[in-house]
Amino acid sequence: MVIAGAGPTGLMCALALAREGVRVVVCEAEPTLTHDLRAGSFHPPTQEMMAPYGITDQMHARGALQVRKWQIRSRRGGMVAEFDLGVLADVTPYPYRLHLEQHRLTPIILDILRQEASAEVHFGHRVTGFEPGPHSVMVKFESEGIPGKLEASWLIGADGGRSTIRKLLPVEFEGFTWPEQFLVVSTPYDLGQHGFAMNAYVADPTEWAAVFKMPDAGPPGLWRLAFPCDPGLPDDALLDPILVQTRMQGFLANENGYEIRYASIYRVHQRVASEWRHGRVLLAGDAAHLNNPLGGFGLNSGIHDAVNLAGKLAPVWRGEEGEALLDVYVQQRRKTTIDQVQAMSIRNKRLLEERDPAVQKARMEELMAIAADPQRARQYLLESSMIAGLQRSQEISAG
């Protein structure tokens, strides 16, 4: 079996397949694991899925932050509602979000994967195409400019949002791109002293923000903030240090000035591939779906795809199950992506950016009422931590 891409989805899928005894080769285009500042908030079910492989323990051991409480705030009015994941201790052994940078997660999975005799990871191997056959798929790659081929029983495209595999398939990447870009800024300045939980969403019609505390290399950690920014300005203007400092000062005045460790811009999409399986080629992770980061669902969904797909592909590969089981992967994961991840991430963004003061006020009052009612708060947490959506997806079976 060949997997294109050694991002979190591809590595997790490879590990789960290798543990089932499947021979798996991961081809990664880059010479090393990518180091970009991306996602880093892991919901309880994702921690549960990674635990049997020893990943979750390693994340804890390497300083991941346990984030039990998260907040919804209003930029103009302060705290609106606080939710405590501790109330879910009866349904999950991990009643908190775990914060660890994506580039600290992938080396953990890779180290564990390298102990598996049936798995190989080839860096500097860019998958360039494939030729489908009746019983296998010929995967074409390029390494140091030299083309090569690998015969695989199945090909998994876990090659990210710009997936080559998806683009070569007759599928649409349905959805839309938000007009504004996101500015992501990291500072060691402690927002906790101002009452911010390690995860907070701050509503405002023009200057909404999402706040995540990340562990960095160790204490004091870094506070990462995401803001919307003007789509009309080029990246270098948006990343101008004076402008970044002004945005931060506008968010929370700091007379000593903010130390800015990182600042980056990225474009955000809401898209889902129209099909996730075409014969012996399957899509997973960002190759199959993209969403905005409000709610922290992107990377979590990729891990959910990987574990679900491996659990079905292994018995199909061994001949214990028919190929129809792979369509259950598509039905379960695609439906959950559309009904839960797309819907919740779009709703979260619209909640934060609502421009009509009366509507915004009504929404904030509704959130206060939910937080004040233990039954409703529990249900809200089950949904927002992806537990309820996963339970519903398990009810989808063949046919």
Q: In what order do the strands lie in the sheet with 209-214?
A: 78-84, 69-74, 199-203, 209-214, 222-229, 173-187, 262-273, 289-290
- Residue 347 and residue 353 in contact, taking contact as beta carbons nearer than 8 Å: no
DSSP states of 67-85 as a string? E-EEEEEETTTEEEEEEEG
Contacting ligand FAD within 291-320 (CB under 6 A):
293, 296-299, 302
286 near ligand FAD (CB under 6 A):
yes
- Size of site (CB under 6 A) for ligand FAD: 31
Residues 144-183 as x/- pattern, contact with ligand FAD by CB under 6 A: --------------xxx---x-------------------
> In angstroms, what CA-CA distances link 195 with 40, 167, 192, 221?
21, 46, 5, 16
Part of the chain binding ligand FAD (CB under 6 A), chosen from 81-89, 290-298, 307-315, 329-337: 290-298
* Bridge-based pairing state of the strands 24-28 and 146-152: unpaired
Q: Which residue, 238 or 364, is less far from ligand FAD as judged by CB? A: 238
Q: Which of 39, 50, 214, 248 binds ligand FAD (CB under 6 A)?
A: 39
153 versus 264: smaller Cβ distance to ligand FAD: 264
Nearest distance, CB of residue 183 and ligand FAD, angstroms: 11
**Residues 315, 383: Cα–Cα separation, whole Å:** 31
- Binder to ligand FAD among 127, 139, 377, 387 (CB under 6 A)? 127
Least distance from ligand FAD to the Cβ atom of residue 368, Å = 26
The span of 5-13, 196-204, 332-340, 387-395 binding ligand FAD (CB under 6 A) equals 5-13
Applying CB under 6 A, among 23, 75, 126, 335 the residue interacting with ligand FAD is: 126
Eight-class DSSP state of 342: I
Long-range contacts of 243-250 (CB under 8 A, 24+ apart): 244/183, 244/185, 247/183, 247/185, 247/207, 248/185, 248/187, 250/207
Stretch that binds ligand FAD, among 6-14, 93-101, 308-316, 357-365 (CB under 6 A): 6-14
In whole angstroms, how close is the CB of 162 to ligand FAD at the nearest point? 7
Residue 220 preceded by cis peptide, ω within 30 = yes
Is position 44 an interface residue for ligand FAD (rule: CB under 6 A)? no
Nearer to ligand FAD, 3 or 370 (CB): 3
Residue with tokens 């995401």: 226
Q: What does DSSP assign to residue 192?
A: G
- 242-281 footprint of ligand FAD as x/- string (CB under 6 A): ------------------------x---------------
| Binding characters for ligand FAD, 7-36, by CB under 6 A (x = yes) | xxxx----------------xxxx---x-x
Sheet holding 2-4, edge to edge: 119-123, 24-28, 2-4, 155-157, 281-283, 277-278
d(CA 54, CA 26): 20
Over the Cα atoms of the chain, what is R_g?
21
- Give the SS3 label for residue 191: helix
Per CB under 6 A, 228 contacts ligand FAD: no
Note the residues at the interface with ligand FAD (CB under 6 A): 4-10, 27-30, 34, 36, 38-39, 102, 126-127, 158-160, 164, 266, 285-286, 293, 296-299, 302
